[in-house]
Amino acid sequence: MLLALILAMGATVALQKAFVPKFGLDLAGGTTVTLTPVPPDGKTPSQESLDRAVTIIRARVNGTGISDAEVARSNENIVISVPGAGREEALGLISTTAELRMRQVLAVAASKAQPVQMPTAAPTPSGSGAPSATPSGAAGATPGATASAAPSATPAGRALSSALTAPSPTPTAKAGDANGASGANGGKKGHKAGAKAAPSPTPSASASPTAPPASQASDDPLAGQDTSGIDPALLTKFREIDCSAKKRGQGAQDDPNKQIVACSDDGSARYILDKAAVQGTEISGAQAGTDPTTGEWIVQISFKSKGASQFADITRRITSLSPPRNQLANVLDGVVIVAPTIQEAIPGGSARISGSFNQASATELADQLKYGALPLKFNQSSVVSVSSTLGQDQLRGGLISGALGLLVVVLYLLLYYRGLGLIGVASLAVATVVTYLTVVILSHNAGFRLSLPHIIGLVVSIGITADSFIVYFERIRDEIKEGRRTLRAAVEVAWRRARRTILVADAVMFIAAVVLFFLAVGGVAGFAFAMGLTTLIDIVVVFLFTKPFMSLAARLKFFSKGHKLSGLDAERMGRTSPAEQTLQEA
């Protein structure tokens, strides 16, 4: 069974052509940046603001495509570790505070992973399920958009991911939105905007001069859409961008004074967006809650005085436009998190967004809007660079120390246990092979990176592994010394007694490793992980190799007759040899 496991792991490594594990920051080189918060009021920053800052920074760093970067809290500080190449890009990203932008949607299409399916039948009106924004508390929100031949706008965002569909040039009756978003100061309790609005008449074919044939539209995501006023370079980029890719532009420091191409945060849609109409610094607050009338989850946002004026202007300007130009996208770090339809002008400095929300998604969107920029200002209190040369020296030193430790253990086993020591050495060799294959597989499939603390944990585990079969060997010798048993019988009886001791010792070691892993951070957690991993491997090797191999060895005359080099000779046992004992029993 163990042989089959080793062969399977070896085949996995060979097929992936990954024979060397990936190295962490201390071995591969890289940079560690420590950020210290500077709260505006001089007070200790709240746990909420620190956690939110960690989330935003982690999303930015991961969005750059740098693999295995780590962002973690250390008391009130935030520590960012970026191994290998790409650290300059990450440092620039960390040191810049990105802001949320509100931009008008100029064009929208599905990502390349979701090809547009074009209908051949005559267009028919349909209600839009996209979230919308209208004055809060309106007794009956009046829809501001009418039916048109432009593609229906598709919102983007975690909260609305289930509503994201491939846009179609099918004319959509924007007479109402079952999930309206609204906002205003005061007023009566609102309800779903446009829920009772009657759909507009079906537009005729002559009223849709921009709708191209289905074959043409399926080839061009911009077919049927109004491209006036859009930078030609962006049209090309829009056609080529693949939002289904892992890196969709998170972390981009978009220029608020330029039009951009952006993806939704789940990769379902791509957008061409106008210059920023409102920036995140003008949002004074955002809060998730439920509509008192309908009970649906909504997000209420409020603006500062300048932001309120800007928001009123942009909503007034785009509310009468055809889809998708009556959508206002909220862009965070270059990614569209939500793009509600604006049904009418929203003055008053507050608004609400409703849609397919639950408590978790509404809270998440509220946090994104409230903390579009980092909730705290940070200073770089330290920047430590580790060269790859130093990392290689550390790796070499770790490997040398591990080899020396293994050599000392092997010499001890051979000198003290003689023939039995060969079984111990074979067990160590098998444990080493299994450990190495496990580390390589985890490195290339689970994001594990080998660091110096891991190597220390692996070196220390040599003693843990040796302890297990030493306990077993001593039990065998005790059974031979104290009882009138043959070697075969002693092997089985000793195993039943040693097995319990080995399991208890390994269980204690594993529990300590788990507790240390979850309570510690950084290198200490890495050491605990390596220790816990090797403890599990030790159990596998002892049960599937050491014990079966010892049972086979007991059948050999070299051991059963108590050869002087077997480690079970009469002189070493201090009593009758196993061979003489067998004759006496006969």
Q: Would you state the pLDDT for residue 380?
A: 75
Q: Would you state the pLDDT for residue 564?
A: 83
What one-character-per-residue DSSP string does 305-327 give?
HHHHHHHHHHHHHHTTSPTTTTB
Q: Would you state the pLDDT for residue 213?
A: 44
Q: Would you state the pLDDT for residue 124?
A: 34
What one-character-per-residue DSSP string does 332-401 give?
ETTEEEE-PEE-S---SSEEEEESS--HHHHHHHHHHHHTSS-SSEEEEEEEEEE-HHHHHHHHHHHHHH
Consecutive 10-residue averages of pLDDT for the chain (586 residues): 89 87 77 79 78 76 62 82 63 60 91 50 37 46 31 34 30 34 34 33 34 50 88 89 64 75 86 90 85 88 89 92 91 82 85 81 76 70 71 76 85 88 91 92 83 84 83 88 77 91 92 88 81 92 92 88 80 57 50
Measured between alpha carbons, how far is residue 27 from residues 490, 513, 532, 533 in Å?
47, 23, 21, 20
- Name the DSSP letter for residue 51: H
Q: Would you state the pLDDT for residue 543?
A: 93
554 phi and psi angles, rounded to 5 deg: -65, -15
Candidates 342, 358, 346, 355; CA nearest to 309 is 346
- Domains of the chain and any CATH numbers: 30-96+379-384 (3.30.70.3400), 100-355 (no CATH), 387-585 (1.20.1640.10)
User: Is there a contact between 238 and 226 (Cβ–Cβ < 8 Å)?
Assistant: no
Please list the residues that pair with 37 across neighbouring strands: 378
Q: Would you state the pLDDT for residue 32?
A: 80
Measured between alpha carbons, how far is residue 513 from residues 41, 436, 480, 506, 517 in Å?
41, 19, 36, 10, 6
Q: What is the 3-state secondary structure (H, E, C) of 178-209?
A: CCCCECCCCCCCCCCCCCCCCCCCCCCHHHCC
Provide the CA 241 distance to its chain's centre, in angstroms.
23
